[in-house]
Structure 1
Amino acid sequence: MGLGIDAYSQSYTGAVGSSYANTQAAANGTKSGKASSESGATVELSDEGKKALESSKETGDKVVKTESAASKIAAKTNKMTDSQRSSLVAKMQADQEARQNQLMNMVQQLFNKQANSYGQSTDMWQFLASGKFTVDAATKSQAQADIAEDGYYGVKKTSERMFEFAMALSGGDVDKMKELQSAVEKGYKQAEKTWGGKLPDISKQTLDATNQLFEDYYKEQESASQKVNPIED
């Protein structure tokens, strides 16, 4: 099944925290544990109150901002110069080609005795899709590792790899990103033709995950734009 994803990729090459338990004046209370109320009266905090106050201050100071996978990738690529993005694209293409060659070599070695069954390498995908072959335990284990959740051909890494490739090519420009998202869809359809039929479910899941990264990015860009240029009533 991981091979279906490879055909696909080749075709395309809340904030956590809490509010203070008391008012800001109480949060910045004196060392003696006293705080001024709105009426101006001095209030003596109990030991439990002091502990709650300190705990709320520490929690408030350690607010953790959650980021989507799309924003993390965007943040990384947006810091790059045009030259660095070009280098990233070249590196990703080279890595993809190297893995494809590695895959081809592995297939040729494993199916050496069955070479006549699948003929030229261009027919490899149809041969694999037919299911008319056997593999040894080591190959099966490697295939399972490749398509595991954290594997190279797993949904997460494959979708993020394609999204990062789009970010590097577009420089984060939304219009260009939408064009590349369309290219992902076309790549998926082309992969189905190469495969000789419907791709495995993991490939569809990867397409959905990739589209979600694009959509998350668009929403984040729109939100950022509204903060800079708020819409007036």
Structure 2
Amino acid sequence: MSVESINSISSLNQSAYQTKAPSGKKEEASKEVKSSSENSGVVYEKSDDTQTSQTAKKTYTQNTALVEQLKADQEAQKQNLINIVNKMMNKQTGAYATSVFGSDSDDIWKFLASGDYTVDAETKAQAQADIAEGGYWSVGETSKRILDFATALTGGDPDKLESMRDAFLKGYKQAEETWGGELPEISKQTYDAVLKGFDDLASEYGLENWSSVSENT
């Protein structure tokens, strides 16, 4: 056999081998991809089920101590405003009594019954200035301070606005009890101004279901 014949046969065998080999590798690669894809799908679903199961098993324990502390803080804020309103309204009525009757006695009815209304002109003039428009105990200034205290005590939290309004009403009621009956007209006007201020804040905060209180309680 000639050298050319041997080379020709060798080339054909080599060509056939090279053509067949990739085909086999392609099938194996295809099987591996399919197997990997199927396995990946199983693993993903299992992982998702595990996460769902873990989520379902989560439990949350209420921090009772913190809740009680927050309640106590809110109640303290409310009581602070009650005390502030009570004292402030009594101071305002005291200034009113001095300007009109010449005394800021807490027991105004006993004072009126005594007939002793004398007071020095300077003190009476100062009291009249205090309750006049723009004065320290005027309707505008007194109502503004009450609302400022309410906002400061709550840090401007809209959720506590109702509680602060309730505190104002209770404080006003206590002031009436201290006075011995309905407060003077200047205090009633202050009452209305404060409630309007609360209504304005509710509107500013966008609170829903806010009911205005217009009558003295």
Please report the TM-score for the alignment, with normalisation by the length of structure 2: 0.46
Higher relative contact order (CA 8 A, sep 6+): 1
**Which has more helix, going by share of residues?**
2
**Structure number with bigger Rg:** 2
